[in-house]
Structure 1
Amino acid sequence: MSLPDFTFLEFLVNSIDILLVWFVIYKLLMVIKGTKAVQLLKGIFVIVVVRSLSAAFGLNTLLWLMDQALTWGFLAIIIIFQPELRRALEQLGRGKLFTRSAVQEDDNPDQLIEAIIKATSYMAKRRIGALISVERETGMNDYIETGIPLQSQISSELLINIFIPNTPLHDGAVIIQNSHVAAAACYLPLSESPFISKELGTRHRAALGVSEVTDCITIVVSEETGSISLTKNGELHRELNAETFRELLESELSLENKTSSSARWNWRAKKNG
């Protein structure tokens, strides 16, 4: 084989190798998109940037700290994300690692907002207990898998029927993902905060618990009082009136406000009773 042929063959093999690596990286990024692993990657990126700046400016102590973080960080990742890694290996065994849900994101969240407002208003008047979580940037697939999958179009009638007492799906949380009802009867983590009011029940504790580990918005309708509460970022806002509730949902879920929702969370409400 002549030198030009060998060079071309070597170039072809290396090109295929690089393309395959980029394809695998791209698919992995698509799999973890919208999950807690995305926040982890952002943290690793910050550490790498700080380490580079420390090396450039001769900040030896900070450089040593960043080196330790990178050295032991991978072990911490394995421990912290052990459930996610186990699930990824299970999906790989089933041939589903690179597959994603067929549900597409809705570009018009107005239907979602109106459905939630109409359903919660109906249930509050009749004191029907409800627990509804709306997924945002942090994925909630871990909790969706604990419930009954629905993947249904959102509607107030569907939400009301799910929470009617003594029906198979009423006990648990409904999780809304990409403006679809992803699953019902889901289990959410209970908050272990010692500052929670003793009068709050399991629904409020679950709403607080999931807001402490994700950026979702969770709505609670009290079965005892019919009041509407909302949790976000580990904070509980109770007894919201109709006007405040609507303004809050619109500011947090409207398409034009998604990128600036944190800046618009500037109202005060009663916290933890």
Structure 2
Amino acid sequence: MLGEGLNIFNILRIIVDITLVWYVFYKLIMLLRGTKAIQLLKGIFVVLFIYLVSYILNLQTVQVMIEQVIVWGPVALIVLFQPELRRALEQIGRGSFFSRNRHSEEEILNQIIDALVTSSSYMGKRRIGALITIERETNMGDYIETGIPIQGQLSHQLLTNIFVPNTPLHDGAVIIHHDQIIAAACYLPLSESPFISKELGTRHRAAMGISEVSDALTIIVSEETGNISYTRNGELHRDISQEELANLLRQDLGTSFSQTPTLKTWNWRGRKK
């Protein structure tokens, strides 16, 4: 019985040991994702692969050269990875290295809402017409393909600049996913609902149309009045304030963030990779 207890303890210890190692590797990969360190790591794996091949084929000159790289490699890695290592140590010091990345998600959500509200308010005051659609769960690849690829980080400066009158991209809709502007000058389906007010123009009908066939959110800035409107699930919220727009976005995008925290990427034709 004592031996069985020790065996169970050893098995649990091994499981915990492996789990901790894999978790640390996972956190490191998430930390380095999107930085130059990922490319350097790929280079390290290539060097190790070449060393393995040279060992199998007995290529002595290649082995000697790679052995020197391996000897001095750690020093080079410390120099090359200095920003990433510093960031990792700072996170460990703050206790956030082993915690969920919820704080950064909140920061990204706040940045998205701030960019959308600031841009909409700026354009509304200057009577610059705009149509901004935010993709959620429903695939909008067909509509993205009708526009011009942007693949840019969302900011109120870039978003506002797209809709400046008499520029090639100002006519049509901008489609956003997460914190990326995917495409501009996109064509959206027009709603054929007879209940839409006759005083509303093409932008409002397009916003209602896309909200009727998808779960996308759309912000409309009227060129005639400068008023801001908002559509979701076939509903139109007209002439809303900055505060109301921010609250609606937080309510709808907050759910999207909790369900789909990862970013989808698109190729140049607008299809998801």
TM range, smaller chain = 0.5 to 0.7
Match of 1:181 in 2: 181
Question: Counterpart of 2:126 in structure 1: which amino acid?
Answer: R
* Distance in 2 between residues matched to 1:257 and 1:133, nearest whole Å: 16
Alignment-derived partner of residue 74 in structure 1 = none
Whether contact under 8 Å (1:147, 1:185) holds in the other structure is yes
Partners of 1:258 and 1:113 in 2: CA distance: 15
1:172 is matched with which residue? 172
Aligned 1:3-152 pairs, distance under 5 A = 107=105, 108-152=108-152
SS of residue in 2 equivalent to 1:254: helix
Instruction: Count matched residues.
Output: 154
Structure 2 counterparts to residues 158-169 of structure 1, below 5 A: 158-169=158-169
List 4+ stretches of structure 1 deviating above 4 A.
Answer: 255-259
AA aligned opposite 1:179: D
Q: Deviations over 1:154-174 (max 9, x none)?
A: 000001100000000000000
Q: Distance in 2 between matches of 1:257 and 1:174?
A: 20
Do 2:129 and 2:223's aligned partners in 1 also have CA atoms closer than 8 Å? yes
Q: Which amino acid aligns with 1:182?
A: I
Shift of 1:178: 2.6
Q: Could you tell me how far 1:181 is from its partner in structure 2?
A: 0.3
Name the structure 1 match of 2:59: none
Q: Residue by residue, what CA displacement relative to the aligned partner does 1:54-88 show, whole Å, maximum 9, x if unpaired?
A: xxxxxxxxxxxxxxxxxxxxxxxxxxxxxxxxxxx
Distance in 2 between residues matched to 1:256 and 1:179, nearest whole Å: 12
Q: Which residue of 2 aligns with 1:196?
A: 196
Tell me which residue corresponds to 1:210.
Answer: 210
1:227 corresponding residue in structure 2:
227
Distance 1:138 1:242 in 2: 26
Larger radius of gyration: 2
Q: Distance in 2 between matches of 1:173 and 1:192?
A: 18
The answer for the alignment partner of 2:62 in structure 1 is none
Contact residue 251 and residue 257 of structure 1 kept, 8 A? no
Partners of 2:173 and 2:187 within 8 A in 1: yes
In structure 2, the CA distance between the partners of 1:247 and 1:155, relative to structure 1 (3 Å rule), is same
TM-score of the pair, normalised by structure 2: 0.54
CA positional deviation for 1:254:
2.5
Displacement of 1:183? 0.1
Distance 1:255 1:170, change over 3 A: same
Q: Percent identity?
A: 64
Query: Unpaired segments of 5 or more residues in structure 1?
Result: 1-105, 260-273
Using structure 1 for the length normalisation, give the TM-score. Answer: 0.54
Task: Give the superposition deviation at 1:250.
Answer: 1.1
Give the gaps of 5 or more residues in structure 2: 1-103, 260-273
User: What is the DSSP-based 3-state SS (H/G/I as helix, E as strand, rest coil) of the residue aligned with 1:113?
Assistant: helix
Residues 131-152 of structure 1: per-residue CA shift (max 9 Å, x gap): 0000001111110000000110
Change over 3 Å in CA distance of 1:128–1:183 after alignment to 2: same
CA contact (8 A) 2:136 2:256 kept: no
1:152 corresponds to which letter in structure 2? G
Q: Which amino acid aligns with 1:116?
A: L
- Could you tell me which amino acid in structure 2 is paired with residue 189 of structure 1? P
